[in-house]
């Protein structure tokens, strides 16, 4: 019994110890996260500081001029002061000593004293810094080239994916409009708006920061612009030919304006590309034309007149046995969400093809 009590107490002690350790781990991990974020913030600030930007902006000729200027200035100083303690150096020896000092070779054939040591120390530090900037710039440019290649490949892939997806949407829009699938069409419009918003956000980020329009993506961008232009035309026509309910109409309008937003966003990045600029201008023009038609047009929508097999099957399934009600087209049209005259045409088509009985006997 005593042994069992000891074991139980030991287990309880270990459980409490484990709980305390876990609590400490959690608190430490949260603290570490906060510290990491602070350090990351400081690092980002350091990387984007004015000093870093100025050093990064130095060109190769500028660095070369600074190195040559440093050598000549120090050479003048070496020749002006008696740095050896015995006699002044002539200018050619001073140039030689300045180069040896700046490159930190230090052959030891000339030994500076007094003021010469101070000048030599300043030259060594300055020379090492300039050489480091020069080498760092070469490495940075190589790295930038590789990163640019990766960025271009990835952005091109993403743009092509957007283009393919928009083409698929265009086809599905066309099919849904032909078949008058109201509910499915409304759902598709909502999804498409979210997708186009995603494209807008992607282009907004990469156009302003990654300069996506500058790095070999023009062809992919043009294809994307054409596809969203076609989508805008389909969307605009859907309002005229589909007779959507009020909510669907609002979603279609939002889609038109979102596509127009992409055009307005990207136009400044294609000032030297007339083809892309022309496509984007057409998108803006389509939006303006839609706004004018929305103000001036108060007539009912003109429905599509294409009778598809899917629509015929739907109407056929709703046809009752003879005799038919005189307002059969109204009843079926209301049930399927089709215009009454269009429903009447489908019924007549079914009768002509012998798929439905002739009410005239």
CB atoms within 10 A of CB 25: 10
Give the model's pLDDT for residue 229. Answer: 92
Give the model's pLDDT for residue 196. Answer: 92
Give the model's pLDDT for residue 186. Answer: 80
| DSSP code of residue 67 | H
* Burial call 92-120: b when 16+ CB within 10 Å, e when fewer: ebbbbbbbbbbeeeeeeebebeeebeebb
Give the model's pLDDT for residue 278. Answer: 92
| Euclidean distance between CA atoms 179 and 338, whole angstroms | 10
Per-residue pLDDT of the chain (361 residues; tens, 9 = 90+): 444 555 455 556 555 655 554 554 444 444 444 444 444 444 445 445 566 667 667 777 888 888 888 888 888 888 888 777 667 788 888 888 888 888 877 777 787 877 888 888 888 888 888 888 888 877 777 776 776 677 777 888 888 899 999 999 888 887 777 666 667 778 888 899 999 999 998 888 877 665 677 666 788 889 999 999 999 988 888 877 666 677 788 888 899 999 999 999 888 888 888 898 899 999 999 888 888 877 665 545 545 556 777 778 888 888 888 888 778 888 887 777 677 777 888 888 888 888 888 777 6
Do the beta carbons of residue 200 and residue 262 sit within 8 Å?
yes
Fold of 57-142: Helix Hairpins (1.10.287)
* Domain regions of the chain by residue span: 57-142, 147-296, 309-353
CB atoms within 10 A of CB 71: 19
Do the beta carbons of residue 256 and residue 230 sit within 8 Å?
no
Widest distance between CA atoms in the chain: 133
Give the model's pLDDT for residue 283. Answer: 92
Do the beta carbons of residue 111 and residue 131 sit within 8 Å?
no
Do the beta carbons of residue 231 and residue 169 sit within 8 Å?
yes
pTM over 0.85: no
Q: Closest by alpha carbon to 257, among 290, 282, 224? A: 290
Give the model's pLDDT for residue 59. Answer: 79
Q: Closest by alpha carbon to 322, among 355, 352, 279, 356? A: 356
Do the beta carbons of residue 40 and residue 71 sit within 8 Å?
no
Do the beta carbons of residue 225 and residue 283 sit within 8 Å?
yes
Distances in Å between the Cα of 169 and the Cα atoms of 54, 158, 266, 298 are: 48, 17, 22, 29
């Amino acid at each position: 019994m005593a042994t069992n009590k000891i074991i139980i107490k030991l287990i309880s002690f270990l459980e409490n110890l484990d709980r305390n350790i876990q609590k400490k781990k959690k608190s430490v991990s949260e603290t570490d996260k906060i510290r990491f974020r602070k350090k990351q913030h400081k690092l980002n600030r350091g990387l984007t500081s004015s000093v870093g930007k100025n050093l990064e902006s130095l060109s190769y000729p500028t660095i070369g001029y600074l190195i040559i200027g440093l050598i000549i200035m120090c050479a003048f100083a070496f020749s002006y002061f008696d740095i050896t303690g015995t006699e002044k150096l002539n200018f050619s020896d001073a140039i030689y000593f300045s180069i040896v000092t700046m490159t930190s070779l230090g052959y030891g054939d000339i030994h500076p004293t007094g003021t010469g040591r101070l000048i030599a120390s300043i030259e060594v530090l300055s020379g090492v810094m300039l050489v480091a900037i020069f080498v760092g710039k070469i490495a940075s440019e190589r790295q930038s080239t590789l990163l640019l290649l990766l960025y271009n490949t990835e952005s091109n892939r993403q743009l092509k994916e957007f283009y393919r997806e928009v083409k698929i949407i265009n086809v599905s829009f066309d099919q849904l409009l032909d078949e008058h699938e109201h509910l499915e069409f409304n759902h598709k419009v909502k999804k498409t708006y979210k997708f186009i918003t995603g494209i807008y956000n992607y282009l907004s980020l990469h156009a302003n920061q990654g300069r996506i329009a500058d790095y070999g993506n023009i062809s992919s961008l043009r294809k994307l612009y054409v596809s969203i232009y076609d989508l805008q035309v389909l969307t605009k026509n859907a309002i005229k030919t589909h007779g959507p309910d009020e909510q669907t109409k609002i979603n279609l309008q939002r889609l038109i304006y979102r596509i127009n937003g992409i055009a307005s966003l990207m136009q400044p990045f294609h000032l030297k590309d007339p083809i892309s600029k022309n496509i984007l201008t057409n998108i803006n023009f389509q939006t303006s034309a839609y706004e004018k038609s929305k103000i001036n047009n108060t007539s009912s929508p003109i429905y599509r007149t294409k009778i598809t097999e899917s629509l015929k099957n739907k109407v056929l399934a709703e046809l009752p046995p003879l005799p038919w009600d005189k307002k059969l087209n109204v009843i079926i049209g209301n049930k399927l969400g089709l215009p009454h005259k269009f429903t009447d045409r489908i019924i007549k088509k079914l009768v002509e093809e012998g798929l439905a009985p002739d009410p005239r006997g």
